[in-house]
Each structure stands twice: as structure tokens, then as C-alpha cells.
Amino acid sequence: MISGQSVPSPDGRYEWLKQEIIAAAPSLGIDDIGFAAADPFVSLRSILEEHRAKGYESGFEERDIEKRVNPALDDAKPASLIAIAIAYPSKMKDPPKSEPGKYRGILARSSWGQDYHLVLRAAMDKLSDFIKERVPEARIESMVDTGVLVDRAVSQRAGIGFSGKNCAIISPTLGSWIFLGELVTNIPFTPDEPVTEGCGECTKCIDACPTGALVGPGQLNAQKCISFLTQTKGFLDEEYMKKIGNRLYGCDTCQIVCPKNKGKNWNHHPEFEPDPEVVKPLLLPILDLSNKEFKERFGHTSAAWRGKKPIQRNAVIGLGNFKDKSAVPKLSEVLLRDPRPELRGTAAWALGQIGGDEAMNTLTKASLREEHETVLTMIQKAGERLGAKLPAITNSEAVLSSSASEQYDKAASEADHIESKTPGEAESWKPTTVTNHSGTPIYYHEMMTDLGELTLCATPQGLARLDFGNYIVREAHLQQWARTWIGEYHFVCDPSPFKEAVSQLDEYLKGKRKSFELKLDQHGTPFEVQVWKALADIPVGQSVSSLDVAETIGRPKAVRSVVAAIGKNPLSIIIPHHRVTGNEGGVIIYPGGLSVKEKLMEIENQN
């Protein structure tokens, strides 16, 4: 009988039990099993200490290194370790493919099917019961990768496989597509011999690691590992977001390139068989999942343990890496409305990868309302990627909001503006919800040009807006503008009010006209209208800075407010803010994009 206080040395008396366990393992759902002594992992201690000193840990490990290298039982002295391995699939039958507008992400193979922690625990519980039926006095403690011991070290000692240069245990028969678990027991089993096979001169895994996280043979910097990064919460550096690609959870690269895995695919465990729509899902729908929907769809997988935020952030990254233009409206919504700063900042990065007028417009709008410093920085960098620098607004300043009155209050807070403002000025301009323009018709017309489609809007008083993009694309923005400045309104599609505007724009874009003679109906704060008037006076073909504009209106200290006012110019081309650089207050973002801005200057400088 086994005593919890005195444990006999391995002398073969339990060889019968070992052989029964080996024979029963397949029926318990176990593909390989090995036995080892429960002696301390002395050499491992220094490796773990060095790993920690270099900052290579993930943070998910047991913090007490002594617990990681010293097998223990609560009420007995440990005598043996039992390591088990369960194989999982490496290939998917008929995987769905990404296509334009329907791009997909991917979960690592270890997340296919049912959560492997549950499967391993069930197998180890069956094994524990099997042993205790034969030796009721046995003391057994089981653990998966969340346990205190280093499962790879246990598996290597027990002969499951050798530790590869990719830090995975590689079984001679199963490859590295295996889940590992271990049991500590006071039964003195005869230990198995470790596997003597190795990687040889091969370094394919190290060479293929996307982020260089494999810093040497068997050395992993978890802080750079994509498998770890996809599980973290928070912001990710741009270099890592590019490397993540469309991975939603985990990374298989170092195992895919491993020659030891060639031709190995294990599908004899139906609980690990993947549902293609779950493990390779469409990216866009992920952004709309509620907590309940996320749990219903992914809750059975190991990828769900960190919640939906990392998965949604990684979906945003995937859309950015695919440069999916169809995702811009949803990414714009995330940037402008999502309460989670990590999602907003990542959406800004993705929009910067995708580019285009709508993305630029969203980044400009977000730069004037965002308050989180890191998100602001990511918005700025996204703007720079698209060829311009967005207005730099920080928390140390009052941040411009989306409402016209708050924008004006920000501008008025600058000292020079306050000094020049007359009593009652602020109250004189603020729009009300319903004004005396109640029921005003706003006419609109779309025209196609070499610069792309333009939407023109006019009130009975004159031309009020010129937007890049068609009416459907700009509709929400136009409605917000109308609610702010017109009050009660309704849009009417009617080309007749725009005949002269269309004619003059056509002449201008063909280089046959240098200025416009149109009746305008401008809606903005007095400060904004003052800035727009200064823009209209800039000579054709000439470039000026935002500081020049500020000095022209007598507000040299109000450069940031000038930049914001220029960004609100509702009549691009007609009021030529493409002639403004902005080097003293941030490069002026042009609503049509940098290429359109350059084209307009090229047209004006002809002849």
C-alpha cells in the first residue's frame, strides 16, 4: 500500500499498473502517455530566471519560479509525473476563402473545436479514476497549461517528445500538433526514457517567425509572439499589427513550417473538428457581436477566455491589413462611437491603412473630438500615412466637439480671440434646434468629374456645400450639418438650381476658369466665416500657410483654431482651401485627399 508520508523508490512493483495505464490510454482519449520522476527541474530554474530577467515572460505564467520547478502534492511526497498528449487537426476540410468585401480571420489550430482545457481535464480525470480504482490510496493532482509546472519540461522528461527550436514539444509520431497535460502522483512508476531525436541544423521556425519572437533555439520572447499578442488587451504597436495579418487568436507559423509536421493531420477526435464559419469567420460581423452573441459563437473554444475585446480588436486589424474599403463605414463608426479606446485607436490605424476620402474625413472628424491621448496619437499617425498631418489636439486643451457651438467655444477660449470678441457675440450666432428656416428645402445634385463624384447642396439663398463622394455616402454627414445650421429641413434631389455651378466647376477643372461667380449661402460661426473669406482671397495657384491665414485675419495666435475652421470649410474648390499648406499648425487635411489637392494646384498652375 502507498503511504502519503513514505514513498517507495521505483522498483518495478507498479509496473503492472503502468502497463495497464498504457493499454487503457486510447480508451481514455489519450494519444500518448509517458512517465517520469518527480525530481526538481534544477537546470530549468536558471533558464526561467534568465527568461524573466530579459523580459521574455508573457505574464500568464505562475509567478513563483520555485513552484514551476518543484513538483508537489498537497498531502503527500510526489514520486512520479505522468505526461499525456492528445493530438488535434492541422487541416480544415473545405475552408471558406476570403474575397473582396467578405474578408475572413483565422483562429489558431489549438482553438479549433471544443476548448482543449476541458478535453484534457476530462481525459486526466478519467485517468485519475482509473488509477484510484486500482490503488485507492493514491494521491494525484492534475494540471493543464494553466498549472504551476512547465508542461513542456514534464513532457520532455517523460518521453512524449523533444523540445524543438520553436519551443514546442515535437513527438516523433504525432509532431507538434498535440495538447499536453500532466499529473503528479505519489506512486513510484518506473520512468520512461526521454526522446533523443532533435531538430538538427534546421532553423525554419526561427527564420519564419513573423515578429522575431524566437530569439534563439528554444528561446521565445513572449512579448513579441503573435500568439501572445492576439490574446492581450489594449493597444498594439503598429509593427505588430502589420505582422498579425488576419489572425484573430494565436499563431501557427512556427509549426506549419516545421518539417517534423509534414503530412501530419489528426482528425480522430471529433471534439476538435473545426466549424469553418467559427474558426475562419467573416471579419466585419465580429464588430457587431454582443457579449451574449460572442459567447454563443466562440464560447466553446479556447479563444474565448479573454473575452470579445481582443478578438474584435484583431478583427479591426485584419480589415486594415486587407485594406477592405467596404469596411470603412463600420470602422468609422467604431472610431467615432465605440467607448473602448483600444478599439477606437485600432480603427484609426486601420483607416490609415485603407485610405480614401471617407477614411480621411473620419480621421479629421475624430481628431477634433477625441480626448484619449493614445487614440489621438494613432489618429495623427493614420493621417500622416495618408499624406497629411491632422490638427494636434491634446487633453491639455479643450477638445473640439462635433457640435458647432462647442467648436466655437474652443476657438474663443484662446486669449487673442477672447480679447477681440464683443459682448453678446457668442450668443448671436448659436443655432437652435428649430429656427426661422423651418422646413427649408435643401436641394442636392451629384456630378461626375475627373476628381471623382461630387455632391452639391444649395438652399434657396445659394450654394451651401460641395462634398466629395455621392449623396448616399455623405447623407449622414449632410443631415447632421442641416440639423445644426438649418433647423427643420428636407432634402430634394433637383439639378435645376445647380446649372451655373456645374458649368463653372466644369470650366475650372478644365483649366478654363480661374475664379467662381456664384451666389453662396455660408453657414458657420463668425470666426469660421472670417477664415473662409480669407481663403477666398488667396490668389490662384499660390500656396499659403495656416499661420499666414491667421495673420491675415488678425489672429496670429489662433493657428489651431484657424486649422479647425479650414477643416470645416463646406465649399471645397469654390472656397479654395487646397491652397493652404499648414506647416505652422499641422498640414491641412483636404477632404478629397492629398492627390486631389495636388491635382487642383496642378490645374491652377497650367499656362
Under a CB-based contact definition with an 8 Å cutoff, are residues 43 and 153 in contact?
no
User: For residue 26, what is its C-alpha cell?
Assistant: 486510447
Phi/psi of residue 21, nearest 5 degrees: -65, -45
SS3 529: helix
Cα separations (Å) of 318 from 78, 185, 192, 343, 404?
A: 47, 45, 45, 13, 35
Residue 171: exposure state from Cβ atoms within 10 A (0-12, 13-18, ≥19): buried
Separation between Cα atoms, residue 59 and residue 165, nearest integer Å: 22
Q: What is the DSSP string of 76-97?
A: S---EEEEEEEE--S--SS---
Q: 604: which 3 cell numbers?
A: 491652377
CA 443 – CA 495 distance, rounded (Å): 8
Catalytic residue of the set 31, 115, 145, 548: 145
E strand or H helix at 35, and its extent? strand 32-37
Q: Is 457 helix (H, G, I), strand (E, B) or coil?
A: strand
Any catalytic annotation for residue 11?
Answer: no
Residues 6+ apart with CB under 8 A from 568: 407, 524, 528
Crossing angle of helices 357-367/341-354, nearest 10°? 140
Three cell numbers, residue 137: 490510496
Strands 178-185 and 80-87: antiparallel
Q: DSSP assignment of 160-214, as one string?
A: S-EE-TTSSEEBTTTBT-EEEEEEEESS-PPPPPPP----TT--HHHHH-TT--E
Element (H, E) at 493: strand 489-493
Q: What secondary structure, in 3-state letters, does 317-386 show?
A: HHHHHHCCHHHHHHHHHHHHHCCCHHHHHHHHHHHHHHCCHHHHHHHHHHHCCCCCHHHHHHHHHHHHHC
Please list the active-site residues: 145
